[in-house]
Structure 1
Amino acid sequence: MRRGAYLVGVAGGSGSGKTSLVRALREQLPPGSVCVVSQDDYYHPKEQQAIDPNGKVNFDLPSAVDMEGLARDLRELVAGRSIHRKEYTFNQPDKEPDLIELLPAPVILVEGLFVLHHEPVRELFDLRVFIDASEGAQLDRRLRRDSRERGYGEAEILYQWEHHVLPAYRNYLLPYRHLCDLHVVNELGFERAVNVLRHHLLLTAGVEEPLGQGL
């Protein structure tokens, strides 16, 4: 959807490295040239989420996320208008969510589980990236992240992995991998992919390299 901004969609399974790749790419581009939009900040409240047959909340469904709101905000950013939204706190009731301001920029990086599954969002992207890792690597990363950052116990993480995360990956992510322009395998790192994306954006998205740096 090339108009006032160049939109890049980054999808991949839980623990594949979506957020890390987007952060690394943003750091490699000139200040002010990138706006990062996370699908996580569009989750519906916990009380609106689906309950699985065992009575557990399932956040790994497309219906868990306000994808229409995400599509609307992306169109606003493309039109040159800023967005204000409360951050998602991963259901930590004691944490007060910050108010996020998203500013229009030449490059908009959008990352999330379902950004390719939802067609109105998918069709906005000028470039689609799928980041992958082995299921073992993804599980190891999720165990470390969710225990350290989100306060989940190991048993809960493993339950979610088996009953929610893997089915979501197979049903709502893998069917769209073939639609992507770039497939990144993140087992030992993604430095080469970051460099490829950086060069592509500098050449095609109207981003100017600061003086003293070059391709």
Structure 2
Amino acid sequence: MEIKSPYVVGVAGGSASGKTSILNDLMNHFEPSQVALISQDNYYYERERQFQDVNGEINFDLPTAIDRESLNQDVADLIDGKIVVKKEYTFNNPSADPKMVSIEPAPILIIEGLFVFHYMELAAKMNLKVYVDALEEVKLKRRIIRDLTERGYPESDVRYRWKNHVMPSYHNYLKPHKKHCDIIVNNNSSYQNGLMVLVNHLKATL
């Protein structure tokens, strides 16, 4: 019997737009066997291979920061019905013990990350493109809170990276793809309306 290919969904949005929260909420509307989620974050190259800006600060907000070949191969394997095992990214925290993440193929495959639309080999595999949107000042406020409380970064460092890395990357590699997306989830305050549009659409594919 021929195995049906999964319905492939790309989800992208600027830093601190709320992608993780929305996807965690979305997963609660499905059985674990119905949705596979693969995150671009787990494919960052090690620090030694990252690009440094003019001030010697590592810029993680570039498409070249990601091992796109491995990401594309793992997506292809999931589409082919294979299990993918990947080490979890720990945001360059040397004290964190990374876990091995096992991703099993499912009827719905979600590819999530900043550059998943920019990588044309990934975008070509997608049946649906979802863009998570929020105002710049909203995203910056969230990022400062998140990076301070969860990752221990000082606010001055967060603001520097926001101005010199995050926003230039957003305007160059992500925002141009917004007009080509099928669903826009607005997340300035509540994302529930957009989330339910997405949930209902995905349930109809099962």
TM-score category (smaller protein)? over 0.9
- Aligned AA (1:60): D
Quote the residue 1:158 is aligned against: 159
CA contact (8 A) 2:6 2:79 kept: yes
2 CA distance for matches of 1:136 and 1:147?
17
1 CA distance for matches of 2:198 and 2:128?
10
CA contact (8 A) 2:183 2:198 kept: no
Give the share of equivalent positions with the same residue, in percent. Answer: 44
Quote the residue 1:199 is aligned against: 200
Quote the residue 2:7 is aligned against: 6
Quote the residue 2:179 is aligned against: 178
Quote the residue 2:89 is aligned against: 88
CA contact (8 A) 2:87 2:100 kept: yes
Aligned: 1:60 with 2:81: no
Aligned: 1:75 with 2:83: no
1 CA distance for matches of 2:95 and 2:178?
37
CA contact (8 A) 2:186 2:194 kept: no
Count of aligned pairs between the two proteins: 204
- Aligned AA (2:23): V
Q: TM-score under structure 2 normalisation? A: 0.96
Q: How much does 1:30 deviate? A: 2.3
SS at match of 2:74: helix
2 CA distance for matches of 1:129 and 1:68?
22
Q: How much does 1:160 deviate? A: 0.3
Correspondence 1:80-159 to 2 at 5 A: 80-159=81-160
Q: How much does 1:185 deviate? A: 1.4
Quote the residue 1:38 is aligned against: 39
Q: How much does 1:28 deviate? A: 0.9
Quote the residue 2:28 is aligned against: 27
Moved over 3 A (4+): none
Quote the residue 1:47 is aligned against: 48
- The unaligned stretches of length 5 or more in structure 1 are 207-215
Once the two structures are superposed, residues 96-133 of structure 1 have per-residue CA deviations (whole angstroms, 9 ceiling, x without a partner) of 11011011111111110000001001111110001110
- The unaligned stretches of length 5 or more in structure 2 are none
2 CA distance for matches of 1:183 and 1:202?
18
Once the two structures are superposed, residues 125-156 of structure 1 have per-residue CA deviations (whole angstroms, 9 ceiling, x without a partner) of 11000111000000011011111111111111
CA contact (8 A) 1:10 1:18 kept: yes
Q: How much does 1:6 deviate? A: 0.8
Once the two structures are superposed, residues 64-113 of structure 1 have per-residue CA deviations (whole angstroms, 9 ceiling, x without a partner) of 00112111101100111001110000010011110110111111111100
Once the two structures are superposed, residues 4-44 of structure 1 have per-residue CA deviations (whole angstroms, 9 ceiling, x without a partner) of 21111001100101111111111111232111111100000
2 CA distance for matches of 1:110 and 1:40?
11
- Aligned AA (1:95): A
Q: How much does 1:45 deviate? A: 0.4
1 CA distance for matches of 2:23 and 2:92?
23
